[in-house]
């Protein structure tokens, strides 16, 4: 590292926060709330705050405009941290509209109507066999999460999954493998696959089954037809969720936030008790600045941590965690219309679709859609697109989405079209994917280290949450947790809430999580067993045939037996 290329910042900071998303901004806010005299700096690689929350202005009905979300959109009534932040800033929320019929492409190419949001009621549009198959397999997944809970003494924070006897088994398979093995009906398979794409922004064959079970445990359930927006306990923020980050940034002050500055290297000098943060400008000016601080909070997506150089090097499992975590490839879109014509028809505006057709290799764009009508009645539809459309032009994606909506809603989806906005999150610089990162098969051993600090570097972000992983609630909770870790390290024990740090390495009652079992179990190969069994069987048949006279039926079947043996083994059956 050529230190001469970096100009030194004149200020030594107590804490530097990397990332101005919800996690980083809440970490800085919590630090200054509890200790206003701390010198805190937030560095952000992008030109804006907000991270994976993004609100855009759109042309809307009646000659107006609205601010709509292309990033994190929904919060739940059971999420206290994010709701408190929303309330503190006086922002308005709106209950997600889900009244009426939703349309689903499940089990067949044709659309079918589903009623209500509750799992059993919405199955009225399915046949009895399809409904039972779907209900039974959803219950299977939820039962697995319940069994894990029992094995881990009903803990909400599943930080020690390998204490469960079946954890290693599910760590080795993908969600798709589990679906193929356990789900027989096409309808139930489609529903579970759509839910995976909606939840993770990825195909089920990439998702670790153990990680999926943990997600179901931490978020309460896995309803493949409800998805994000189809429930009465789901809320949206009027005017967009990016307001939250902007309000937090305004509260911190412009002098504490530096935009367009990415971190290239973190160097911990334990002998001097400082951490050097090497940064470079992402704007027009090619400026490199070296900052020093006592503690660092790294609040960026897991997959981006692998792009930062650490000195000394990260522990093996931590490094593998960052390198193996896979970001979702979500494509979000919003369309405004002149009227909410779907409501006039008694529809909820919700669509769930596989995007697959009877034509080989044909994929349609829609994964799911939801009503996004504002408090003032400005109509809009938001939704997610299948990842196969990532490399298309924006205009082609827009046309494909409108045409797909016409298949469901009719010509008014085109005739009343006003404006279209989208975000291909996998191509967003310094984010590189949404809604979050997930673990692939065989990698849950390194996931155990996700919340562990490394020397003076602490980690926050929605993926590091102890409950609502991947949600805005999880981002806020992780930011607060990392702030209390830093305060503990700085020696301000009187203002640290150790309840928040429960389960962390700063918890005196914490038990070290178990690693997956590596014991070697010697077993006879299945092929040897098969050869032995068939050898004994053939010998028995030969001895039996030699000793006893064959019946007329056996004599009649003997030519067929000879032909079968000769065809399968190439061996001529002995004559006598």
pLDDT tens per residue, range 85-124? 999 999 999 999 989 999 988 877 788 888 754 444 445 5
The percentage of residues in the chain with a pLDDT greater than 90, rounded to a whole number, is 64
Could you tell me what percentage of the chain is helix, strand and coil, using 3-state DSSP and rounding each to the nearest 5?
Answer: 40, 20, 40
300 lies in the same domain as 442: yes
Ordered alpha helix ranges (H), 253-358: 302-305, 316-324, 341-344
Q: Is residue 342 part of a domain?
A: no
| Pairing of β 274-281 and β 288-298 | antiparallel
Q: Which helix (H) or strand (E) holds 368?
A: strand 366-371
User: Annotated binding residue at 97?
Assistant: no
Residue identified by tokens 């190419």 is 109
Ordered alpha helix ranges (H), 43-127: 80-88, 119-122
In total, the chain counts a number of residues equal to 576
36 lies in the same domain as 174: no
Report yes or no: 575 and 555 within 8 Å, Cβ to Cβ. Answer: no
Average pLDDT over residues 526-549: 68
State which residues form the domain around 197.
Answer: 118-225
| Average pLDDT of the chain to the nearest whole number | 86
- The CA distance from 411 to 401, in Å, is 13
219 lies in the same domain as 123: yes
40 lies in the same domain as 186: no
322 lies in the same domain as 471: yes
User: Annotated binding residue at 387?
Assistant: no
Kindly give, in sequence order, each residue whose CB lies less than 8 Å from that of residue 267, ignoring residues fewer than 6 positions away: 1, 275, 276, 278, 310, 311
Q: Is residue 294 part of a domain?
A: yes
Give the tens place of pLDDT for each residue, 74-85.
999 999 999 999
Give the tens place of pLDDT for each residue, 413-459.
999 999 999 999 999 999 999 999 999 999 999 998 999 999 999 99
Give the tens place of pLDDT for each residue, 544-575.
665 555 554 555 556 666 766 666 666 665 55
- The CA distance from 218 to 170, in Å, is 17
Is the Cα torsion angle 443, 448, 454, 458 positive or negative in sign? positive
What is the predicted pLDDT for the residue at 178? 92
**Total structural domains in the chain?**
3
199 lies in the same domain as 278: no
Of 566, 449, 561, nearest to 515 by C-alpha is 449
270 lies in the same domain as 214: no
- The CA distance from 516 to 162, in Å, is 6
214 lies in the same domain as 131: yes
133 lies in the same domain as 179: yes
18 lies in the same domain as 140: no
In DSSP terms, which residues pair with 353 in a beta bridge? 105
What is the predicted pLDDT for the residue at 553? 52
- The CA distance from 265 to 100, in Å, is 53
What is the predicted pLDDT for the residue at 154? 40
Q: Is residue 313 part of a domain?
A: yes
Predicted TM-score of the model (pTM): 0.85
What is the predicted pLDDT for the residue at 64? 94
Q: Is residue 309 part of a domain?
A: yes
Q: Is residue 58 part of a domain?
A: no
322 lies in the same domain as 438: yes
Q: Is residue 416 part of a domain?
A: no
Backbone angles phi, psi at 8, to 5 degrees: -85, 135
User: Annotated binding residue at 193?
Assistant: no
């Amino acid at each position: 590292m050529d230190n001469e290329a970096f100009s030194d910042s004149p200020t030594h900071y107590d804490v530097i926060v990397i990332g101005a998303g919800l996690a980083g901004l809440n970490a800085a806010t919590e630090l200054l709330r509890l200790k206003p005299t701390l010198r805190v700096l937030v560095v952000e690689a992008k030109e804006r705050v907000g991270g994976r929350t993004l609100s855009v202005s759109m042309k809307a009905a009646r000659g107006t405009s609205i601010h709509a979300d292309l990033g994190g959109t929904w919060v739940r009534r059971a999420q206290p941290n994010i709701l408190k932040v929303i309330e503190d800033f006086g922002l308005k929320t709106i209950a997600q509209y889900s009244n009426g019929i939703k349309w689903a492409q499940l089990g067949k190419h044709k659309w079918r109507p589903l009623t209500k949001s509750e799992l059993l009621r919405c199955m009225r549009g399915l046949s009895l066999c399809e409904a039972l198959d779907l209900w039974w397999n959803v219950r299977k997944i939820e039962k697995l999460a319940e069994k894990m809970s029992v094995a881990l003494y009903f803990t909400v924070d599943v930080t020690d999954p390998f204490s469960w006897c079946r954890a290693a088994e599910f760590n080795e398979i993908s969600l798709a493998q589990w679906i193929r093995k356990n789900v027989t009906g096409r309808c139930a398979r489609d529903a579970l696959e759509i839910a995976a794409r909606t939840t993770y922004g990825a195909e089920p064959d990439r998702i670790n089954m153990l990680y999926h079970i943990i997600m179901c445990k931490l978020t309460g359930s896995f309803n493949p037809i409800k998805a994000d927006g189809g429930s009465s306990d789901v809320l949206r923020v009027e005017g967009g969720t990016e307001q939250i980050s902007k309000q937090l940034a305004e509260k911190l002050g412009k002098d504490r936030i530096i935009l367009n500055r990415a971190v290239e290297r973190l160097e911990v000098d334990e002998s001097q008790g400082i951490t050097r943060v090497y940064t470079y400008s992402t704007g027009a000016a090619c400026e490199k600045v070296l900052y020093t601080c006592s503690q660092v909070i790294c609040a960026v997506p897991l997959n981006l941590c692998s792009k930062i150089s650490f000195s000394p090097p990260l522990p093996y499992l931590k490094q593998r965690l960052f390198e193996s975590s896979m970001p979702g490839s979500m494509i979000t879109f919003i369309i405004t219309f002149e009227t909410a014509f779907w409501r006039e028809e008694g529809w909820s505006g919700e669509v769930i679709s596989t995007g697959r057709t009877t034509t080989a290799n044909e994929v349609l764009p829609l994964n799911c859609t939801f009503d996004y009508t504002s408090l003032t009645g400005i109509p809009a539809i938001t939704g997610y697109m299948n990842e196969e459309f990532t490399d298309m032009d924006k205009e082609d994606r827009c046309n494909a989405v409108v045409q797909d909506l016409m298949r469901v809603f009719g010509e008014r989806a085109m005739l009343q079209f006003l404006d279209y906005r989208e975000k291909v999150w996998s191509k967003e610089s310094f984010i590189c994917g949404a809604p979050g990162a997930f673990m692939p098969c065989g990698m849950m051993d390194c996931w155990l280290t996700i919340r562990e600090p490394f020397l003076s570097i602490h980690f926050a972000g929605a993926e590091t949450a102890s409950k609502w992983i991947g949600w805005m609630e999880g981002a806020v909770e992780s930011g607060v947790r990392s702030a209390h870790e830093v305060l503990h390290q700085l020696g301000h024990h009187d203002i640290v809430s150790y309840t928040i740090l429960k389960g962390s390495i700063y918890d005196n009652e914490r038990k070290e999580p178990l690693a997956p079992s590596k014991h070697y179990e010697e077993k006879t190969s299945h092929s040897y067993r098969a050869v032995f069994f068939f050898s004994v069987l053939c010998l028995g048949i030969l001895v039996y045939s030699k000793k006893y006279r064959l019946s007329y039926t056996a004599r009649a079947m003997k030519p067929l037996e000879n032909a079968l043996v000769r065809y399968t083994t190439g061996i001529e059956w002995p004559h006598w």
